[in-house]
Structure 1
Amino acid sequence: MSIADGVFIHTCESILNDGVSTEGEKVRPHWEDGTPAHTIKKFGIINEYDLSKEFPVITLRPTAFKSAIDEILWIWQKKSNNINDLNSKIWNSWADEDGSIGKAYGYQLGVKHQYKEGLFDQVDRVLFDLKNNPMSRRIMTNIYVHQDLHEMNLYPCAYSMTFNVEGNKLNAILNQRSSDVLVANNWNVVQYAVLLHMFAQVSGFEVGKLIHVIADAHIYDRHIDMIRELMTREQFPAPVFRMNPDIKDFYDFTVKDFELVDYQAGKQIKIPVAI
C-alpha cells in the first residue's frame, strides 16, 4: 500500500473518532444551495512524509497530479493571482470579473522585500539562502500578510513554508490553517512534495522530509459517507515520481517535467465543494 494512503486513513479516523462537530455553530462556509456547511474538525494534525522513500500520493482515489502541479507553479513560479494564468477552474468561485483573487497567494510571493543582501521576493530569497547560506534557520516564506487580508478574496489556507537542510537533504514544514480533508488534503501534500523536490534539485540537495502541520483539519457533513467508503477501498503501491533531471533553474520547470509512473488508483468520486 501507499504510505500516503495509511496517513490519510489515520487522519480521517482521528477526525471521525475524536473530532468535534460544528453543528449548531455559526459557520462561514456554505453549500451551493445555501445550506450551512458544518464539519467534524480536529485541531493540530501533524503528518510526516519521507520523500526519499516514496512519493506521497494516495491511491484510494485519483489525485489530479498535473492540475496540482499547474496550481503550485501558478503560485510559486508565476507568482500570479489571476485565474487566467491557471489551466483549471478551481479558483473561479473566488475570482472577480477580471480573474483576480486579490492580494493573495502568488501576489504575496512576488512582493519584493529589502534584505541586507539586496531586494528579493520570498521565492528568490529561499533560492538565495539555499545556495549561499544553507545552514540558516531562517529560510521561510509567509503569505498570511495581515495588512493585505482585506484585499484577498480568500485568506490563504496553506500559508507558510520553513526549509531546513540536514546533511545533503532538504526538509520542509508546511503550515496550513485549514484543510478540507476530502477535497484538498492530498492535493496539497502532492503540491508541496513536488515543490520540495524542485527546490532540492535546483539547489543541489537530495529531497528529505515534508512535515504537514494543519491547525483545523475537517471533514464536511456531506463528505462523511464518502470518507467512510474511501477508507474501505483497496490500496495500491505508490507510483514512481519522476522529474526532469536536466532542470537547474527553478523558473524553467513546466508541468511536462513531472510524471507519475504506474499510478494506480480507485475510481474517482464526485465531491460537492463548500464555498
Structure 2
Amino acid sequence: MLQFFSGLLRSSFLFRPPKCLTLPHQLHLKRLKTRLKIQLSLSDDYPHSIMDYQTENKENIYCNIHTCEKEYLNAIDYIIKHGSRRSNRTGTDTLSVFGMQMRYNIREAFPLFTTKRVFWRGILEEMLWFIRGSTNSNELKDKNVHIWDANGSRSFLDNLGFFEREEGDLGPVYGFQWRHFGAEYTDFKSEYGKTGVDQLHNVIDLIKNNPNDRRIIMSAWNPMDLPKMALPPCHVMCQFYVNNGELSCQMYQRSADMGLGVPFNVASYSLLTYMIAHITDLKPGDFIHTLGDAHVYVNHIEPLKIQLQRALHPLPTLKINRKVTDIDDFKINDFEIINYKPHGKIQMDMAV
C-alpha cells in the first residue's frame, strides 16, 4: 500500500494537473497531493495511520495477539517526540496530540499491559462498582482501591463548591449514567430503582435481540449533570458491534492520561466486552480505543521512557470461572487472570 501511494505521488498527474481541468479541480488535486505527502511522512514514525490496517492479509489488519501493547507504547513515544506542550486545570503541563486510535485483538489474550504492573484488582472492582450504578468512592476505598479517593476527598469537593455533599459522593458519574441516565440525582445514599434510562440493560438487550443495530451505544456524557459531577467523564461513550459470533467494542475517550489512565481504561473496557460477550453467548473480538486529547504529563516523561525500554512479555488470558446470565450477578471471584508476568511497578503521580 505504501508503494502504491509513493508511486501515485511521483506520477505526473498529481504533480502536473492536465490543463483541461478547471481551477477547482486543480486545487483539489493539490490538496490531495499535500495530504498524501503528510500521510507518507508520518507512516514511518507514527504507526496509527490507515496504512497499518489497509492490507490484503486479514491477519495483519489486527495487531498480533501478544504484541498489541506495542501500539500503546508507540503512541506514547510519538506523543513525547511530537506532542504540543499545553497547560490544563491540574497545574501540571502535558505533551498532547489530538486524535489517536489503537486497536486491540482480545480474542485469545487480554490487554493487561506487561511493561509495568497494572492494578488488575482495582480494574475489576471499579467495573463492578460502575455496573452497580454506585457513585460512592468510599465503597472502593473500603476494598483498598484508592483510585477515586482524591476526587471524593473533602478538600476536592469543597474546591468545587460541593460543601453540603458528603465525602466520597462523586455526584452522577459513570455508574449513575450507565444505569439511570436522565434521572434526578440527589446523593450517593438515595435509592434510584428503575428511574432514568438503564443504558447497560438496553445495550445487552440490543445485542441479544437486534445485533446488527448501529445504535448499541452507552454514554456517560450528560450535559445536564456535568455541573454536579466531581469529575466529568474521561471515557465518554462506547459502542458495541456484533459480527460472526464476536462482540467488539469501540470506546471514545475525550481525555487520555497515557501514563496512568490509559492502561487502566484499555483493560477496563476489554473486561466489560468480555462480560457482555459472556452473558450474550458471544466471543470477544476487538477493543478499539479512540482518543481525543491524548497526553503525557511532563512529570511522567522520565518514568515512561523507562517503560519504553522494557521488553514486551506475552499478554495474559482472562477466564470467567462460572456461567453468568445477568450482568448484575458477576462477583469478583468469577474472574481469573492467567499467566500475567509483568515487569515491576513504575511510580507516576496522578494530576488532580
With structure 1 as the length reference, what TM-score do the two structures score? Answer: 0.90
| Residue matched to 2:163 | none
Deviation at 1:120, TM superposition (A): 4.5
| Residue matched to 2:332 | 255
Deviation at 1:81, TM superposition (A): 0.7
1:42 matched to 2:42 = no
| Superimposed CA distance per residue, residues 206-251 of structure 1 (whole angstroms, 9 cap, x where no aligned partner) | 1111110010111101100111111001221111221124122211
- Answer whether contact 1:3 1:54 (CA < 8 A) is retained: no
| Residue matched to 1:89 | 146
| Superimposed CA distance per residue, residues 7-44 of structure 1 (whole angstroms, 9 cap, x where no aligned partner) | 1211111111221111xx4x201xxxxxx200101111
- Answer whether contact 1:113 1:121 (CA < 8 A) is retained: no
**Larger mean Cα displacement after TM superposition, 92-101 or 147-156:** 92-101
Distance across 2 between alignment mates of 1:109 and 1:197:
17
Of 55, 63, 76, the match for 1:12: 76
- State percent identity of aligned pairs: 29
Larger-Rg structure? 2
Of 119, 132, 140, the match for 1:78: 132
For structure 2, which runs of at least 5 residues remain unmatched after alignment? 1-64, 158-165, 184-195
1:139 matched to 2:216 = yes
What are the within-5 Å matches in structure 2 for residues 189-228 of structure 1? 189-228=266-305
What are the within-5 Å matches in structure 2 for residues 21-60 of structure 1? 21-22=85-86, 25=87, 27-29=88-90, 36-60=91-115
| Superimposed CA distance per residue, residues 90-135 of structure 1 (whole angstroms, 9 cap, x where no aligned partner) | 1111115342101111111121679xxxx85101111111121111
What are the within-5 Å matches in structure 2 for residues 98-177 of structure 1? 98-111=167-180, 120-177=197-254
Distance across 2 between alignment mates of 1:112 and 1:146:
11
| Residue matched to 1:33 | none
Distance across 2 between alignment mates of 1:243 and 1:101:
30
- Tell me which protein shows more helix as a share of its residues: 2
With structure 2 as the length reference, what TM-score do the two structures score? Answer: 0.71
**Larger mean Cα displacement after TM superposition, 233-242 or 181-190:** 233-242
| Residue matched to 1:234 | 311
- Answer whether contact 1:2 1:58 (CA < 8 A) is retained: no
Q: Give the partner amino acid of 2:97.
A: K
Q: Give the partner amino acid of 2:136.
A: N
Does the residue aligned with 1:179 lie in a helix, a strand or coil?
strand
Q: CA RMSD in A?
A: 1.8
CA change 1:254–1:226 in 2 (3 A) is same
Does the residue aligned with 1:3 lie in a helix, a strand or coil?
coil
Deviation at 1:256, TM superposition (A): 1.3
Does the residue aligned with 2:73 lie in a helix, a strand or coil?
helix
> Runs ≥4 in structure 1, deviation > 4 angstroms?
none
For structure 1, which runs of at least 5 residues remain unmatched after alignment? 30-35
| Superimposed CA distance per residue, residues 142-166 of structure 1 (whole angstroms, 9 cap, x where no aligned partner) | 1110011110110100010101111
Q: Give the partner amino acid of 1:100.
A: D
Deviation at 1:53, TM superposition (A): 3.4
Does the residue aligned with 1:216 lie in a helix, a strand or coil?
strand
Q: Give the partner amino acid of 2:79.
A: I
Distance across 2 between alignment mates of 1:171 and 1:144:
21
Does the residue aligned with 1:144 lie in a helix, a strand or coil?
coil
Name the count of aligned residue pairs: 262
Greater relative contact order, per chain length (Cα 8 Å cut-off, separation 6+): 1
- Answer whether contact 2:174 2:220 (CA < 8 A) is retained: yes
| Residue matched to 1:188 | 265
